[in-house]
């Protein structure tokens, strides 16, 4: 009997534990429609959505459901442990009026604009998410600005100082400024979103700014400005980030580090992405304001219709942000770029004609070190003439670090200057038109190794490889059809 009583008590305890666990596992859900939101697309419903978010957070967290319909909003802020879930057919649209937004973290960007307003934001929150098959539409092309207000146009999604963030499956579009801005945030996962932001010239896609442990996967990004941009508008580094399996298109850069670059960039991997219809650079790695860049691994990319495929720049603009102290000139040490297939920009909408395939330049007092580029297969569409082969390329140490500032380069395959220990291995390049510039030119380089280059020498072209003011150079496995081995290299003072 005692045994039976003990078993009965044990069963009771188990049942109570199961019931308790079942209750705990139920996720709190609240619909914005049950708390006063209006989905007619005309009634400003910011307060109702915000009240729903606040109530869910106050109760310990859960899901704020946005059912089918159109919801007109100004700034709404996510709070701790809240998921904003937009059901299929649901659309949050931004107000036309700046008065309906506010600034959750003011700062001034690289071109002097005061920024920080947003449509959907979060500050110092944890365990937040935006999910679902719905749409967040900033309607940036329709916003109304008073005199001097344009620089205050709102970002679409702004995450500031947050931890454990997920953005999944939603469509984000037509931001009035940057589309998704992550600032000083940690443990962020962005997966499967579609980003369409062509309504504003400064419409970046995703900006990872002084943030860590960020993963971006399976995204389709078509942005007017940089598609994915790593920034540091504070001395806090951007590090431990991965981008993979994304479609990227941009009217400027597809994958970009900088230009805002006070803090370091460390341990970042970009892989398995398709870059297309990009009028600026495919991969742009820029330290202008003191950033030390190290341990970048960029591999297995395909670029189609891209003007300047690879641009790496170390400069000394040294702009400051957020009242931080000015940094010393930065550094680059440990960059690997590999397995890149390139189709250059066709003859339309050129920003600079002709462009080059690879452009790497430090400055005399700060050299780029330890860059390895291998397995590049490029087909470029340009017709450079021999009158630029002796051009003195400007230093532009303190200018905005954009390749357009340097003009047409003396080499179409790679122009490399002010560097140490640069390796290029297995570089195949062909041009559609007859190219008369150097294939490769290095200037002020210590420790350059070229192992395996394959191309055709166009009739009338100058010596393929030009070496100036450089030392410790190793060049082997040069395969240039139509050219004899004794005229591959030109040495200049």
360 touches 422 (CB < 8 A): yes
Question: pLDDT tens, 391-409?
Answer: 999 999 999 999 999 999 9
- Tell me the C-alpha distance between 219 and 223, whole Å: 12
Residues of the chain above pLDDT 90, percent: 79
Q: Given pLDDT bands bounded at 50, 70 and 90, which one contains residue 63? A: very high
Closest by Cα among 172, 238, 245 to 205: 172
Written as six digits, the tokens of 79 are 């709070």
268 touches 241 (CB < 8 A): yes
Question: Is the confidence at residue 123, as pLDDT, over 90?
Answer: yes
pLDDT at position 25 is 55
pLDDT at position 18 is 38
pLDDT at position 493 is 54
Is 488 or 103 the better-scoring residue by pLDDT? 103
pLDDT at position 348 is 66
192 touches 155 (CB < 8 A): no
Residue 230's DSSP bridge partners are 208, 257
- Look over the chain and give the mean of its residue pLDDT values, rounded to a whole number: 91
Question: pLDDT tens, 349-372?
Answer: 778 888 899 999 999 999 999 999
Is 54 within a domain? Answer: no
pLDDT at position 487 is 67
Q: Given pLDDT bands bounded at 50, 70 and 90, which one contains residue 3? A: very low
Question: Is the confidence at residue 86, as pLDDT, over 80?
Answer: yes
Question: Is the confidence at residue 477, as pLDDT, over 50?
Answer: yes
Q: Given pLDDT bands bounded at 50, 70 and 90, which one contains residue 483? A: low
Is 470 or 15 the better-scoring residue by pLDDT? 470
Domain that holds residue 338: 226-492
pLDDT at position 310 is 98
Is 92 or 492 the better-scoring residue by pLDDT? 92
Q: Given pLDDT bands bounded at 50, 70 and 90, which one contains residue 200? A: confident
Is 168 within a domain? Answer: no
Q: How many CB atoms lie within 10 A of CB 480?
A: 18
Is 27 within a domain? Answer: no
Q: Given pLDDT bands bounded at 50, 70 and 90, which one contains residue 14? A: very low
Q: Given pLDDT bands bounded at 50, 70 and 90, which one contains residue 32? A: very high
Is 441 within a domain? Answer: yes
pLDDT at position 13 is 42
Q: Given pLDDT bands bounded at 50, 70 and 90, which one contains residue 122? A: very high
Instruction: Enter the pTM of the model.
Output: 0.93
The domain total for the chain is: 1
pLDDT at position 382 is 77
- Tell me the C-alpha distance between 282 and 307, whole Å: 8
174 touches 199 (CB < 8 A): yes
pLDDT at position 26 is 87
Q: Which helix (H) or strand (E) holds 240?
A: strand 238-244
327 touches 262 (CB < 8 A): yes
Is 241 within a domain? Answer: yes
Is 476 within a domain? Answer: yes
Mean pLDDT for 436-449 is 96
Is 232 within a domain? Answer: yes
Is 93 within a domain? Answer: no
DSSP string covering 72-101: EES-EE--TTEEEEE-TTEEEEE-SBGGG-
Kindly report the backbone phi and psi dihedral angles of residue 318, in degrees, each rounded to the nearest multiple of 5, phi listed first: 60, 45
């Amino acid at each position: 009997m005692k045994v039976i009583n003990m078993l009965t008590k044990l069963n009771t305890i188990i049942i109570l534990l199961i019931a308790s666990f079942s209750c705990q596992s139920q996720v709190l859900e609240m619909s914005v429609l049950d708390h006063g939101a209006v989905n007619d697309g005309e009634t400003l419903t910011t307060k109702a959505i915000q009240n729903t978010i606040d109530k869910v957070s106050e109760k310990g967290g859960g899901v704020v459901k946005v059912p089918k319909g159109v919801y007109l909003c100004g700034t709404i802020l996510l709070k701790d442990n809240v998921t904003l879930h937009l059901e299929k057919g649901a659309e949050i649209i931004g107000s036309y009026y700046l008065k309906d937004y506010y600034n959750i973290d003011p700062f001034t960007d690289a071109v002097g604009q005061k920024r920080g307003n947003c449509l959907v934001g979060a500050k110092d929150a944890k365990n937040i998410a935006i999910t679902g098959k719905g749409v967040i539409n900033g309607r940036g092309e329709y916003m109304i600005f008073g005199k001097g207000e344009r620089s205050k146009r709102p970002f679409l999604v702004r995450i500031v100082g947050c931890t454990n963030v997920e953005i999944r499956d939603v469509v984000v579009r037509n931001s009035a400024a940057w589309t998704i801005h992550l600032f000083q945030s940690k443990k962020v996962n962005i997966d499967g979103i579609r980003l369409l932001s062509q309504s504003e010239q400064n419409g970046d896609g995703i900006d990872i700014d002084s943030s860590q442990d960020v993963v971006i996967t399976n995204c389709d990004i078509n942005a007017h400005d940089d598609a994915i941009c790593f920034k540091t508008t504070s001395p806090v580094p951007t590090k431990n980030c991965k981008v993979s399996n994304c479609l990227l298109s941009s009217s400027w850069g597809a994958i970009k580090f900088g230009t805002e670059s006070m803090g370091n960039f460390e341990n970042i991997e970009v892989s398995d992405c398709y870059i297309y219809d990009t009028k600026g650079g495919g991969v742009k790695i820029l330290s202008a304001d003191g950033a030390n860049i190290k341990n970048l691994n960029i591999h297995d990319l395909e670029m189609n219709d891209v003007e300047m495929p690879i641009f790496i720049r170390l400069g000394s603009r040294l702009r400051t942000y957020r009242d931080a102290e000015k940094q010393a000139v930065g550094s680059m040490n440990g960059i690997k770029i590999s397995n890149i297939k390139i189709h250059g920009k066709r003859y339309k909408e050129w920003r600079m004609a002709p462009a080059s395939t690879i452009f790497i330049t430090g400055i005399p007092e700060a050299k780029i070190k330890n860059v390895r580029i291998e397995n590049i297969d490029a087909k470029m569409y340009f017709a450079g003439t021999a009158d630029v082969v002796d051009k003195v390329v400007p230093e532009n140490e303190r200018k905005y670090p954009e390749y357009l500032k340097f003009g047409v380069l003396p080499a179409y395959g790679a122009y490399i200057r002010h560097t140490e220990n640069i390796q290029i291995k297995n570089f195949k390049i062909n041009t559609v038109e007859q190219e008369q510039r150097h294939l490769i030119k290095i200037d002020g380089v210590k420790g350059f190794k070229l192992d395996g280059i394959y191309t055709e020498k166009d009739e009338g072209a100058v010596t393929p490889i030009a070496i100036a003011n450089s030392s410790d150079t190793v060049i082997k496995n040069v395969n240039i059809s139509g050219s004899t081995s004794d005229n591959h290299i030109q040495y200049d003072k």
